[in-house]
Amino acid sequence: MLSQVLQKTSEILSTLPKAETDHFLASRTLPYPLQKQLEKFLEKGEAILAKAAGYSIVGKRALALITDRDLYSNTSILKSLSFTGIRGGLTAVVLELFEDIRFFTEKIHTPCIDYDPRKPLTSYVNKVLEYSEASELPFILRIPLYSPAHAETETEHVERVSPRPYFNKHWLRPYRWNIIASRTLPKCIEDHKRNIKILEKLCEELELNQLEEKDPKKVAIVSASCSREAPEDETTLILAFMNPLPKKTIEELTAKAEKITIVDSGRLYLKEKIRLDKATVKKVEKKYEKTCGGCPFPYLLYAIAKALDEINEVGVVCTDTNCHVITLSTQQDFPENYQIKSISFFQRDFRDIIDIVLSENSAIDIARAIAEAGYQDGPVIAVTDLYRVTQAGKLPPNLYILAVNTLGAKHGYRKLPSKLDDLIEYLAKIFEAEESHIAVLDKPCPLAVKIDNNIELKIDEELCDKCGECLKILCEAISLEAGKIVLKEEYCRKCGHCAEICSRNAIVALSP
């Protein structure tokens, strides 16, 4: 389930500061459990690679942990660095939450490597940093969210002798890091071609790409991130290099093979690039249909929808992209097999509540613009995380910023009631006031902050009429199976949200 994947991902990625690097940066757009573990390294996602570039230009190794959305917002800096080159190693470790980034890395001409989850991450990163330093090019290390599910961990930390930062005027390469000038200077162009040749040689080496020879007539070509799905009885080429692809190695292996299987995930990058008519394609893909147990965001969104319904208003709800929005992009429709339809709340999933979700840190700005434009048919609501509220400034009328304190931090803002009925009443009251308002829900992410809630949840089957109301918070601990609502204790985080939402009082929270 999603919470287990996020926990394992956080455990693996939190080892990155131990890599042989001089400067480690982590994006504020990472899922909340990871933000908590890497709190002292957090930087704004849109500027994180520019800062890493600065370290690299003076000979330092820089490592940046970002999401795929950060990668898109840093397109210009990466594309420029792929031409001008760098000095120290620079590697962007990209946690792939939403889209397959391999096609994108090819467009911006940036080397891309897939992480092999059978190897400890820090040792893998150290090797990629060496490649980056040798080729004087920035590298991207792609980590799909599901790939660390069974990855190894390591605790060993090797101290690296760090060079002092230095810079000279590059008399042989004037204006090296001026992208406009460097594209017209013969020496810069010549050095860029040299870097590309080094890279093409590196991608053919089988140090990260692995060849496991068994039956030479049966071959499986596999992306490293899903290599554990490879057939066991066939010769397997596990590809780490995605851009550039080791074409020579692939051609030599497939030329003598009678059977070829391409195993890949996402948008089947390998199928398109290798283009073998006789190859069988196996797609490995994992989707997440529910949010983590105890997630405070669906709880707040549920209360907002109920409050708007009570006052009969059409609100505009904007939110930021983060780990909870994985649900927004993958959620499937609920099955139409309830014995009695919900009489109190008809929303199928979050897409029926949230109107606008575009990118990180955007909810407040978008909502502000809508409010300033004079929208009067209902409240304009920005649902965001606490740390973003400090940037809100003075609010126009009819703008409501509702933040969630996901990391359990101290703050001086007004607090939203934690109990559902009180929360709905509070929201309905402020929405009717048609003024601006900032308030914070102090319900931390249960994966980021340990919550001691000593209750036991039980379902009274006589009172439960399978209305489906409790399923609307999309918690992985509660589901409809064989016509019955089932609570799965192994996933339950004792938040009690389902008991508060149940209008039939069929879910009971018992104190021990």
The model's pLDDT over 55-66, given as tens digits with 9 standing for 90+, comes to 999 999 999 999
Higher pLDDT, 511 or 34: 34
Q: Compute the distance between CA of residue 244 and CA of residue 236 in angstroms, rounded to an integer.
A: 19
Residue 349 is predicted with a pLDDT of 58
Q: Give the pLDDT band of residue 234 (cuts 50, 70, 90).
A: confident
- Across the range 58-80, mean pLDDT stands at 92
Task: Reduce the secondary structure of 362-399 to three states and give it as a string.
Answer: CHHHHHHHHHHCCCCCCCEEEEEEHHHHCCCCCCCCCE
> For the segment 259-268, what is each residue's pLDDT rounded down to a tens digit?
888 999 888 8
Residue 379 is predicted with a pLDDT of 94
> For the segment 237-262, what is each residue's pLDDT rounded down to a tens digit?
899 999 999 999 998 888 888 888 89
Q: Give the pLDDT band of residue 478 (cuts 50, 70, 90).
A: confident
The pTM score is: 0.87
Name the H helices within 85-163.
102-107, 121-135
Question: Residue 129: which of 194, 198, 60, 51 has the closest Cα?
Answer: 60
Residue 17 is predicted with a pLDDT of 93
Q: Does position 495 have pLDDT exceeding 70, yes or no?
A: yes
> For the segment 80-107, what is each residue's pLDDT rounded down to a tens digit?
999 998 989 999 999 998 889 999 999 9
Residue 419 is predicted with a pLDDT of 92
Instruction: Return the structure tokens found at 432.
Output: 């009717």
For residues 237 and 250, the answer to whether their CB atoms sit within 8 Å is: yes
- β-partners of residue 509 are 457
Q: Give the pLDDT band of residue 278 (cuts 50, 70, 90).
A: confident
Residue reference for tokens 């994108």: 104
Q: Does position 341 have pLDDT exceeding 50, yes or no?
A: no
> For the segment 424-474, what is each residue's pLDDT rounded down to a tens digit?
999 999 999 878 999 999 999 888 888 777 788 888 888 888 877 788 777
Instruction: Return the structure tokens found at 474.
Output: 């999309």
- Across the range 301-317, mean pLDDT stands at 90
> For the segment 344-399, what is each residue's pLDDT rounded down to a tens digit?
444 455 666 888 887 777 899 999 999 999 988 889 999 999 988 987 888 999 99
Q: Does position 113 have pLDDT exceeding 90, yes or no?
A: yes
For residues 13 and 52, the answer to whether their CB atoms sit within 8 Å is: no
- Across the range 266-277, mean pLDDT stands at 87
Of the candidate ranges 72-81, 136-145, 168-177, the one whose mean pLDDT is the lowest:
168-177
Q: Does position 174 have pLDDT exceeding 80, yes or no?
A: no
Quick one: which H or E segment has residue 493? none
Percent of the chain with pLDDT over 90: 34
Higher pLDDT, 482 or 17: 17
Question: Residue 500: which of 406, 417, 438, 432 has the closest Cα?
Answer: 417
- 412 residue type, one letter: G
Average pLDDT, the chain: 85
For residues 474 and 298, the answer to whether their CB atoms sit within 8 Å is: yes
Q: Does position 332 have pLDDT exceeding 70, yes or no?
A: no
Residues 6+ apart with CB under 8 A from 148: 5, 8, 9, 11, 12, 13, 115, 117, 121
> For the segment 197-232, what is each residue's pLDDT rounded down to a tens digit?
989 888 988 788 888 888 778 888 888 888 777 777
Higher pLDDT, 213 or 337: 213
Q: What is the DSSP string of 309-371?
A: HHHT---EEEE--SGGGHHHHHPPPPPS--SS--SS----SGGGT--EE-STT-HHHHHHHHH
- 512 residue type, one letter: P
Residue 194: half-sphere exposure toward Cβ, Cα within 13 Å: 10
Residue 342 is predicted with a pLDDT of 45
With the C-alpha atoms ordered 319, 392, 31, 103, is the resulting torsion angle positive or negative?
Answer: positive
For residues 158 and 221, the answer to whether their CB atoms sit within 8 Å is: no
Sheet containing strand 218-223, strands side by side: 210-212, 235-239, 218-223, 259-264, 279-283
> Virtual CA dihedral for 180, 107, 22, 361, nearest 10 degrees?
90
Q: Does position 38 have pLDDT exceeding 90, yes or no?
A: yes
